[in-house]
Amino acid sequence: MSTATPLTLSPAPSQCSLEDFVAHYGDVYEHSPWVAEAAWHQGLRPKHDNPDALAELMGLMLRQATPEQQIAVIRAHPDLA
């Protein structure tokens, strides 16, 4: 049985304004702050204060993006372009 405390992000995404969230988490997808904006607009809940849950939500935003937006993310990353 694990007694480890789950990781919590700081600042807590669920407590951030759009501007603060993008300032802190907008570079998760390099040069693509629109992914963070989409996640914020989707609705951040306390469960998203966990790194794994936030990564899952942001990944979902990328998967739901248009093909053009997805290609732009790849091109914005110097190691993938």
> Read out DSSP for the chain?
---PPPP--SS-GGG--HHHHHHHHTTSSTT-HHHHHHHHHH---GGGGSHHHHHHHHHHHHHTS-HHHHHHHHHHSTTT-
Catalytic entry in 24, 41, 48, 77: 77
Active site residue 77: yes
Which residues have a catalytic role annotated? Answer: 77
